[in-house]
Structure 1
Amino acid sequence: MADFDIPNARRPRQFRRIDRFTETDDPEEIRRRFRFTHYSIDRIERLIGHRLERPTGRNQPLTPRQQILITLRFFASGNFLQLIGDTFGVDIATVSRVVTRVTDELCDLKDQTIKFPTTDRHKSIIKQNFFKIAGFPSVIAAIDGTHVRIIAPHEHEEQYVNRKHYHSVNVQATCDHRGVFTSINATWPGSTHDAHVFRTSVLSDYLEAHHHGLEDGIVLGDSAYPCRKFLMTPYLHPAQMFNDAHAKTRNVIERAFGVLKRRFHVLHGEAWGEREAFPEEEDPQPPPLVQLEGNPDGQAIRDAITANIMTMCNKFVKNS
């Protein structure tokens, strides 16, 4: 029988491009395309690979690793699903299912990886390292909000239009001194004010219930937040030493958002050895304690911290 093409025969799906990307000896090529090294991609596969295996009658089902690579490429590039599919030789519907599946599996790990400091030891290490930045005492986290652009939803569309006039979700996050995220709240539309997001958050409830003094630690936020006994904000009137120390210390959360959005363009690894702009964790001497009496409110605590910062600055000047 002569060889000829059968018009409607399905050709077997090819994954040459996936294999080429993963088998390359150039680690920079891997990081450029997927924003992770081989080591970190292997680790993701160990964490969720078994959950991505699906029984199927297809001749060449996507392996867990291929599903992970498709999803990471989508996160890294922010390209249309059609372009991702063209890159890997799969159709757009498959890309959509894969990205959804892998994202859901990664989100299921959030409670294992995103943890707010609650133990004395954990808080002590973070306080010491935050103090090294600008001499601001008792800080266990920096907080801020960032807007993640979305496609206009069909319901309550106007609520998702933020002050910059595009549709978004207002994502609240805290991080430690390394820029590692310790809490995430992504439940509010873009028009929601940062103060409301915080006031209605689980984090606010936790701090309200567990904060009994500066020894429990404080969170640094910008002027969009209310000044509370556990949440320090800058002075609206000039208080240069306090505001400077506050800004330098709190800046870590803005840098963390910057790293996240540069790595994952779909939004515009932290602790896995991926390159980042944050210093290694150290174990310096404990910072001095700020002495307070009674049950002061946020303003009184802020004034006491200001006095403490000024005292330290004066001592430094005298000794220099």
Structure 2
Amino acid sequence: MKEEFHRTAVHCILGFPNVIGCVDGTHIPIRAPSENEGDYVNRKSIHSINVQVICDAAHIITNVEATWPGSVRDSQIYRESPVSHRIERGHFDGYLLGDRGYPCRSTLLTPYPDPEPGPQQHFNVAHCRTRAQVEMTIGLLKARFQCLRHLRVTPERACDIIVACVVLHNIATIRGEQHPALQIEADEDPIPAADMQDGSAVRGVVCHNHFTV
């Protein structure tokens, strides 16, 4: 699935300007594959596909990468994804929000690792509450499709099923179908990625302009 962002996806939540979406990774367990088995073992020692999800404020999944084995970090998946290249080249006017598992870049804002009292703390609180959109979206996806709790198929087949579930989730969301009982999983603390200097500068400007009381 290679859906791209639309102008209508640009939104402002809790003070953040021009947020085009929130990004996160989620692991979909699979049975141990016969080839390259070790590549699929994640940090919890479970075989999985690490799926990158980008969503908007309406819980529509605007982009999904479902081809990476569980041992690959979120930051690498984002760095090598086509959507990141398009965002970096300025095809979209706005920011993604991600957790500390991603590097802070000029187009991908992450929280301050050690926020100072005042604007930086306000930035982090608003960032966390806004980024909760993607955690809720992933929770809705998994609640709608119980098969995603464990796919007993090959990695290639698992990727196809994951993308199909995302498409059906979007259709259900657009049609206003009733939400299933939501269960948000508690993720491990992400391994912090190194900040990019230009990203830190942009984060500082956003913090100063929008979170200074």
Alpha carbons 1:241, 1:309 under 8 Å: kept: no
The SS at the match of 1:253 is helix
Deviation at 1:205, TM superposition (A): 1.2
Distance in 1, matches of 2:19 and 2:141, equals 22
Q: Supply the distance in 2 between the matched residues of 1:156 and 1:126 (Cα, whole angstroms).
A: 38
Partner Cα separation in structure 1 for residue 173 and residue 48 of structure 2? 24
For structure 2, the residue ranges without an aligned partner over 5 or more in a row are: 150-171, 181-196
Of 256, 271, 281, which aligns to 2:137? Answer: 256
**What RMSD, in angstroms, separates the aligned Cα atoms of the two structures?**
1.7
Q: Which has the larger radius of gyration?
A: 1
Does the CA-based 8 Å contact 2:15-2:211 persist in structure 1?
no
Considering fraction of residues, name the structure with more strand: 2
Identify which of 240, 257, 269 aligns with 2:121.
240
Work out the number of aligned pairs and report it.
171
Q: In structure 2, how many angstroms separate the alpha carbons of the residues matched to 1:271 and 1:165?
A: 36
Percent of aligned pairs with the same amino acid:
45
Amino acid at match of 2:207: T
* Alpha-carbon displacement from aligned partner over 1:57-111 (angstroms, at most 9, x marks no partner): xxxxxxxxxxxxxxxxxxxxxxxxxxxxxxxxxxxxxxxxxxxxxxxxxxxxx45
SS in 1 for 2:34: coil
Q: What's the counterpart of residue 157 of structure 1?
A: 37
Q: Paired residue for 1:275? A: 178
Query: Deviation per CA, 1:105-158, whole angstroms, max 9, x where unpaired?
Result: xxxxx45xxx322xxxx42x3333xx1x31111100100000001010001111
Cα pair 2:21 2:54 within 8 Å, conserved = yes
* SS of corresponding position for 1:216: coil
Note the C-alpha offset of 1:240. Answer: 1.1
**Shift of the alpha carbon at 1:272?**
1.8
Is 2:70 the counterpart of 1:190?
A: yes
Flag structure 1 segments of 5+ consecutive residues without an equivalent.
Answer: 1-109, 278-295, 315-320
Aligned residue for 1:127? 10
Indicate conservation of the 8 Å contact 1:171/1:185, yes or no. yes
Partner of 1:304: 205
Residue by residue, what CA displacement relative to the aligned partner does 1:162-184 show, whole Å, maximum 9, x if unpaired?
A: 00111000000101111100001
In structure 2, how many angstroms separate the alpha carbons of the residues matched to 1:173 and 1:209?
20
Residue 188 of structure 2 corresponds to none
2 CA distance for matches of 1:259 and 1:253? 10
Where does residue 228 of structure 1 map in the other structure? 105
Instruction: Name the structure, 1 or 2, with higher relative contact order (CA <8 Å, separation 6+).
Output: 2
Q: TM-score by structure 2 length?
A: 0.76
List, as ranges, runs of 4+ consecutive aligned residues in structure 1 with deviation greater than 4 Å. Answer: none
Alpha-carbon distance in 2 for matches of 1:216, 1:260: 27
